[in-house]
Amino acid sequence: MYLKQIDILGFKSFADKTQMVLGPGITAIVGPNGSGKSNIADALRWVLGEQSVRNLRGSKMEDVIFAGSEMRKATNLCEVSITLDNTDHHLPVTFEEVTITRRAFRSGESEYWINRQPCRLKDIHELFMDTGLGREAYSIIGQGKIEEMLSTRPEDRRGPFEDAAGIVKFKHRRKEAERRLEETAANLVRVDDILAELEAQLGPLAEARRVAERYQALSDEIEETEIALLVVEIDRLHDRYEQLKRQVHREEEVRGEALEALRLAEEAWKARRQALHEASANLEALQAQYVQLVEARQKAQGSLALSEERLAALAQRAEDRQRRKEEVSRDLAEIEAAMQALAQAEAEAAAALGERQQRLEHARARADDARRLELAEEIDRLSGELIDANQRAAALRNELKTLEERVQAGAVRHERFEEEARRIRAERERIEAACRERSARAEVLRRELEEMEAAFAALDLARERAAADEAQAVAAWHRLQADVQGLSSRLELLRDLEAGYDGYAHGVRTVLQQAKRGALKGVWGSVAEIVRVDRAHELAIETALGGALQNVIVETEQDAKDAIRLLKARQGGRATFIPLDVVRSRRMEAGLLARASQEPGFLGLASDLVSFDERFRHAVEHLLGNVVIAQDLDCASRIARALNHRFRVVTLEGDVIAPGGLMTGGHVNRRGPGLIGRQREREELEQKLQALEAERQRLNARQSELREQVVELGRQREALEAERASRLNELKQFEDENKQAAYALKALDERLEALEWERESLTQDRSQVERRLADVRGLVADAEREVARLTAAIGDRRERLVSLESELAEAKERLTGLRIEVATLEQERKNLSERMADLRERKARLVRAHAEMEREAARDAEESARLLSARESERAEAARLAEDMDALEQALASARQARHELEAEVHELEEGVRRSRRAVEERESVLQRALVAVERADAELSHALAKMGEQFGMTYEWAKTRYPLQGSVAETERKLEALRRERASLGDVNLGAIEEHERLSERVRFLTEQRDDLVAARAQLEQLIDEIDHEMATRFMETFQQIRSEFGKAFHSLFQGGEADLVLTDPSDPLTTGIEVVAKPPGKKLQNLNLLSGGERALTAMALLFAILRVRPVPFCVLDEVEAALDEANVARFAHELRLLAADTQFIVITHRRGTMEEADALYGVTMPERGVSSLVSVRLTDEIDYETA
């Protein structure tokens, strides 16, 4: 068998799918440091089941998934597959080719396949067990791990030796045997628990059997005495019955007379009561009318008051309005006066301003004559300018001729540039049109890819969440399953005990089983089944009940008789029955109970500390109503003394103080719950299991839902991945075409830019020339005009010079004063205008306010007139209502007097009716008591006769002749009471103790045999473990000796001399002993391994590895830079050893060393062309690459 192929996707730095095809012999993997070579070894270790993140050179399992790079996003999963050639069937499967696949998701979920079939990690471990492969084997030696074979503790070196010895499966079988041994031990404990419970029940049965015989003798004597007393009681009851019947007849006659008197009184009372009802109705009607009048009067008075208030408010408003109108009139008069004054002032200011402006204009005109003094100087200046102008005009004419010649040459060059630019633009438009078409399609593809990326993210997130939820649900389900199994085992035991009525007497068990089958009616169950007790009180209540726990509760006395007949007919044993129709409560007197409750440690009556259905109250109080539960024995002693030792007192630990002071106590051997505790525990377990089962079903449904969701999301992602790949290919094609087009456009743009630059340069030059040409022409014309103008100006200035030489000083002085006066007048006029505008606005506001007050006065006048009219109407209505109220008050007084008189009459008649009713009720009560007494006497007589027939099975007449009373009734009753006390002193007696004792003994024998079988099975498992241990020890020692011998040879070969040995630290215990490595290189003394050099330690570890491979070759072995510490000579010897071992083992060597590469049959190179992403390339053996330097 050998490794044929490795497929890696998304594992560490291998982001893309990478396939590595291998053959037998030696394959070397080379590449620069940090390129990801060791990740191939990690991938092999991981796919073979490695779970330790530290061994995978990470901090968490998520680290094995490609984490992304500068150019790529992180992936959400990684997958590694290896394909093995199994034609020699080295692996225990029928396939000639085996593919192992492992996949991990970033959510933490993992998947495993064998030949594309899902499997468990355990299946992969078992497949490679004892093959030298797997996570704990010596087939993969990681980077820097070779020396760990020497540096680890001696006990930790056993792994490769055990794998080479082929005892891994034996260790697995040993663990399985140990698990079965633990199960056997658990079953043995269960059987011991049942035996302990049954044995605890056997002890009391022996004593119960002895008590049962005495109990039966006393019961027979008591029955004869009870029959004799019952005959006397029947005679007494018959006489009393006849006497009571006569008394009932007399009472019926007296009751009839009282009923007639009551009838006459009730008729008179009803007649007057009807008259009272009519009078009350009339009075209520009058009162209702009066209330309506009062409300109407109050409403009228309220309206009148409101009108008065509104009129007063209107009058006040009129006064206020008149006052405001007077104020407005005064303000208007003041404003009119102010406006007139302002108008006059404004007119005066305007006149003054006009006069000052005229004077200012005159002064300005005279001030202009002052310029005459400047004309002389201006004539000189103009003469100089005329000479300059003539010179400029000549220069500009020369420049004009040169510029005209440059314009003609530029026009020719510009036409040539335009033609070439048109050709380039046409080509560019064609390329751009094609690019736009491709870009539009590419943009569509990008949007689709963005939508796909969003869909990918959503799918991955949903898948991760679903996978995480599924993992949580699976973990919760397993925890829940363990709890369910534990509780189910215990519940099954309790149900078995209850179904078989274990612990019950034979007779009780027969009755309960027949009742369950429907053969008996009216059977409610045993006392233990109908009561519920808190855990803290269980022992005390079980002790208080004793054998009465097995008493059977039935509905009627007849049901008990039917059950007894069935027991007799089937010889099914004996049982005690409690008929609910005849049993009576026995409860401690309130005074004694109060006295006992004052004592410390008093917990209550036993009947109050149990819960039960109310129908069983008499039965429970009959058994427990006179039993007190105390905290401990000291408290029980004080309580018993307080009760004068008349009642039983039981402690929580089961100690008993009986009536009379007898004490029972000691150690109670309770290895399991009693009959009451067993039922309580079963109910608790059923409730817990019901809740757990509901939760388990919910988790199952949740797991299925999540698993389907994960699969469906995976399918959706694969379909989306295929569609995305298609879009990416199409987009890449478009991008490549657009890149080529961009290169062409760039070249065209560069040429066009050059042409444009030249054209713009030419255009700018031409524009500058043309602008200069126009400027020069203008300048020539200007210069010629300037010459003419200056010539004329000089003549003109000379003529004006003579006339313009006076008036300058006088004009300047007058002009300044007038300017100041004009500015002052203009500001004053502006202020007057602003004040006039303010007065006009204020006047307008006052006029509007005056008009609004006039309108308001008109509205108030209308409202006042309306209110005056309404006030008169309201006054008249109030007066009318007052008159109506006076009349109605008189009618009310009369109606009240009539009703009062009728009430007095009805009250008197009603009192008479009550007296008659009391008389009737008294006679009814007397009659009823007499009837009840008759019925009770008849029932007592019937019950006594029935009791004679049912309880004793004979008629009254026959019993009267056979069981005459011996002595007086009192003496006979005292005798009966003594017999009953003696029988009661025996306590609750289990009449089926003998049969139950025999049944329990038989069950104990059966369970003892089962226990012996379990003990034998345990011994066999222990023997099997011993045999496995012996086989493992034998195989280990044989393999160890072989490896030891080969280790010395390999060491001598690698070191070219020296000695080495393997020594067991504890030869007496081959299964746990450690292994010490002893090495003595050539020319050195035997020394500690830690004192060896790095190269010596590496060679020693290699010698040990080669020794193991010689003894137990593995199908393939991965060595990751194990020879890094060796020099060239030792590398050559190392490579030579690999070649010798390659006949039986396929080697995959990750190396930097030339000597190792030269010995390889095939080379693979690992590179990182993209930062953070590894790539695999095949390398021909003839390539001369200095990998060591790399």
Q: Is 561 annotated as a binding residue?
A: no
> Alpha-carbon distance 286 to 892, whole Å?
6
The pLDDT of residue 1176 is 87
Between 993 and 37, the more confident residue is: 37
pLDDT of 1167 above 80? yes
Mean pLDDT of 1042-1068: 88
Smallest Cα–Cα separation from 100: which of 75, 119, 76? 119
510: which strand partners?
none
Q: How confident is the model at residue 228 (pLDDT cuts 50, 70, 90)?
A: confident
Mean pLDDT of 643-671: 82
- Beta strands at 140-141 and 1116-1120: parallel, antiparallel or unpaired: parallel
pLDDT of 895 above 80? no
Q: Give the chain's domains with CATH numbers.
A: 2-154+1033-1179 (3.40.50.300)
pLDDT of 653 above 50? yes
pLDDT of 637 above 80? yes
Q: Cβ–Cβ contacts within 10 Å for residue 1058, how many? A: 20
Q: Whole-structure pTM over 0.75, yes or no?
A: no
Give the lowest-confidence range in 350-359, 694-703, 1120-1129.
350-359
Residue 503 zone, left/alpha/beta (φ > 0; ψ -120 to 50; rest): left
pLDDT of 936 above 80? no
Q: Is 35 annotated as a binding residue?
A: yes
1163: which strand partners?
28, 1179
Q: How confident is the model at residue 1087 (pLDDT cuts 50, 70, 90)?
A: low
pLDDT of 1185 above 50? no
1077: which strand partners?
1062
Share of the chain above pLDDT 70, in %: 78
The pLDDT of residue 11 is 92
Give the lowest-confidence range in 232-241, 557-566, 952-961.
952-961
What is the overall mean pLDDT for the chain? Answer: 78
The pLDDT of residue 813 is 53
Q: How confident is the model at residue 260 (pLDDT cuts 50, 70, 90)?
A: confident
Residue 815 vs residues 364, 372, 470, 824, 971: alpha-carbon distances, Å: 6, 18, 108, 15, 168
Mean pLDDT of 33-62: 86
Give the lowest-confidence range in 109-118, 612-621, 881-890, 1056-1065.
881-890
- Within 8 A by CB and 6+ apart from 653, the residues are 539, 540, 632, 633, 665, 668
Give the lowest-confidence range in 295-299, 378-382, 447-451, 1030-1034.
378-382
1119: which strand partners?
141, 1149
Q: Of the spans 13-22, 146-155, 435-444, 821-830, which averages the highest pLDDT? A: 13-22
Q: Of the spans 10-19, 227-236, 822-831, 876-885, which averages the highest pLDDT? A: 10-19
Q: How confident is the model at residue 1183 (pLDDT cuts 50, 70, 90)?
A: very low
Smallest Cα–Cα separation from 372: which of 807, 804, 810, 802? 804
Question: For the segment 865-877, what is each residue's pLDDT rounded down to a tens digit?
Answer: 777 777 778 778 7
> Alpha-carbon distance 1137 to 1144, whole Å?
12
> Alpha-carbon distance 1011 to 1017, whole Å?
10
The pLDDT of residue 403 is 64
The pLDDT of residue 809 is 46
pLDDT of 649 above 80? yes
Q: How confident is the model at residue 101 (pLDDT cuts 50, 70, 90)?
A: very high
> Alpha-carbon distance 185 to 162, whole Å?
30
Answer yes or no: are the C-beta atoms of 1097 and 1105 closer than 8 Å.
Answer: no
Q: Cβ–Cβ contacts within 10 Å for residue 508, how many? A: 30
pLDDT of 370 above 60? no
**DSSP string covering 1117-1155:** EEEESTTTT--HHHHHHHHHHHHHHTTTSEEEEE---HH
Mean pLDDT of 378-394: 63
Indicate the SS3 state at residue 519: coil
Q: How confident is the model at residue 786 (pLDDT cuts 50, 70, 90)?
A: confident
Mean pLDDT of 50-55: 82
Axis crossing angle, helix 1094-1111 with helix 1128-1141, rounded to the nearest 10: 10
- Within 8 A by CB and 6+ apart from 1176, the residues are 14, 18, 19, 20, 1164, 1165, 1166
pLDDT of 1065 above 90? no
Between 510 and 824, the more confident residue is: 510
Q: Is 36 annotated as a binding residue?
A: yes
Proportion of the chain in helix, strand, coil states, percent, rounded to 5: 70, 10, 20
The pLDDT of residue 829 is 62
pLDDT of 43 above 60? yes
Q: Of the spans 155-164, 806-815, 954-963, 1164-1173, which averages the highest pLDDT? A: 1164-1173
97: which strand partners?
85
> Alpha-carbon distance 950 to 953, whole Å?
5
Smallest Cα–Cα separation from 820: which of 1178, 359, 388? 359
Mean pLDDT of 100-119: 90
Give the lowest-confidence range in 273-287, 350-364, 1162-1176.
350-364
Residue matched to tokens 């690999």: 1138
pLDDT of 226 above 60? yes
Q: Is 166 annotated as a binding residue?
A: no
Q: Is 1113 annotated as a binding residue?
A: no
Which token pair is 724?
């995305």
pLDDT of 1184 above 50? no
Q: Is 37 annotated as a binding residue?
A: yes
Question: For the segment 270-305, what is each residue's pLDDT rounded down to a tens digit?
Answer: 787 777 677 767 767 776 676 677 667 767 776 776
